[in-house]
Amino acid sequence: MATRPQIGIFGRRNAGKSSLINILSGQDVAIVSDVPGTTTDPVRKIIEIPVLGPIVLIDTAGMDDAGLLGEKRVLRSRQVIAQVNLAILIFTGNFLGEYERNLIEDFRLQEVPFLLLHNMSDKVSLDPEIEGEITRRYASDIIDFSCKDPHNTEQLIALILKNLGPSPFSTQPMLEGFVRENDQVVLVCPIDSEAPEGRLILPQVQVIREILDRRAIAVVLQETQLPSWFSEINKGERERPVLVITDSQMFGKVEQHIPEDQPLTGFSILLSRSKGDFWACLEGTKAIDMLKDGDCVLLMESCSHRSTCDDIGRVKLPRLLKNYTQKELLFELISGLDVPAKPLNHYALAIQCGGCMITHRQVLARIREAVKAGVPVSNYGMAIAYAKGVFERATRPFLLTKEPDINNL
């Protein structure tokens, strides 16, 4: 889902959220019932809309859900706001009440584009005066719609396209400022228990694709092949690469086999430039030196995978940080898009993985929430580089480029 726009459908119970998803998808993918609270946790549906292509629609629980369980459902639905590129707020009966106004305020606070959909127009049409008032007050597009008689679906799709904008994923390319046509880039890709059998891991695939898009040359090898590769460069038999990119766990070994002035970085660090907030992570990583006995470090993975005995987030990174700091640290790991069990200010440091499986907005939302809470943030690759003593070298190529960072515009 990492390359698909995410659209959240919000509203009260029985407002027509699931029905709208069925209309947009052209099939019965969401359960529709007159029983309030049919949709509990947010449910994601992948569909394809002409012009835009594949998108993810997120069906949320009703924002007026009651009771202790209902409050938990509402909380999970509100957490979706930070993850979406567009919100569609459904209301009925020409009534925009407290629940809707609070949602709109959340959309604005989190800078999420939104549009309003007045459903059940087959029963009650949208009042022109109310439409004008809503438009003036919220500066939002609004459409009168009926899930039972969806004759203006194309108009709705046009509004979705308009509010998503030309590119919901306006991330900075990972190699912007480094790699030009015909440049050689060496990718060191170790084959270990973390590498899927017969495949490369996603960050490696993404980097290779961008190299090819730039009409440059990708040289893929393992760390044991580096000495012979660079010996041929020293003999003048090969062209020197403009950049060496390695798995962050291989920083130490790779550094031993390449010249000191050879630009070097990691796959995860490249992803932080493209998807996260590179400069926040660059500064936050230095907080590793400030960790004390008893501090808790939050590890934020963005994919849900079966852990292995040498898992990076669960095993290797905690061990590396303990060895580097010589402190008795505590670690809490969350995966997917889960939220931590404790308030963010409980943690002394938050470390985000590369984020190859989620969107730029989702990575950025996680990082910004930590920053707002006063918690330093880092990135898996940066934290590993810091603990291995190669942080300055692994981030040096970014400091030398003059390209703007979209996360600070």
Residues of the chain with CATH 3.40.50.11410: 278-387
pLDDT at 122 over 80: yes
Q: What is the pLDDT of residues 246-292, one digit of tens each?
A: 988 888 889 889 999 999 999 989 988 888 789 999 999 999 999 99
Q: What is the pLDDT of residues 381-398, one digit of tens each?
A: 999 999 999 999 999 988
What is the sign, positive or negative, of the torsion defined by CA atoms of 340, 359, 306, 323?
A: negative
CATH architecture observed for domain 6-164: 3-Layer(aba) Sandwich (3.40)
Residue 249: HSE in the Cβ half-sphere, 13 Å Cα cutoff = 18
The reported pLDDT for the residue numbered 408 is: 42
The reported pLDDT for the residue numbered 190 is: 83
| Range with lowest mean pLDDT among 121-125, 232-236, 288-292, 305-309 | 305-309
The reported pLDDT for the residue numbered 40 is: 47
Question: Nearest CA to 189 among 249, 263, 131?
Answer: 249
Class of 278-387 in CATH: alpha beta
Tokens 């003593």 correspond to what residue? Answer: 389
pLDDT at 357 over 80: no
3-state SS class at 9: strand
Question: Nearest CA to 164 among 141, 143, 147?
Answer: 141
Residues of the chain with CATH 3.40.50.300: 6-164
Local confidence band at 365 (pLDDT 50, 70, 90 cut-offs): confident
> How high is the mean pLDDT of the chain?
85
Q: Are strands 217-221 and 6-11 parallel, antiparallel or unpaired?
A: unpaired
| Residue 143: both structure tokens together | 């459409």
pLDDT at 2 over 60: no
| Range with lowest mean pLDDT among 102-111, 162-171, 348-357, 378-387 | 162-171
φ, ψ (nearest 5 deg) of residue 30: -120, 140
pLDDT at 244 over 80: yes
Question: Nearest CA to 211 among 275, 282, 270?
Answer: 270
- Distance between CA atoms of 253 and 113, rounded to whole angstroms? 46
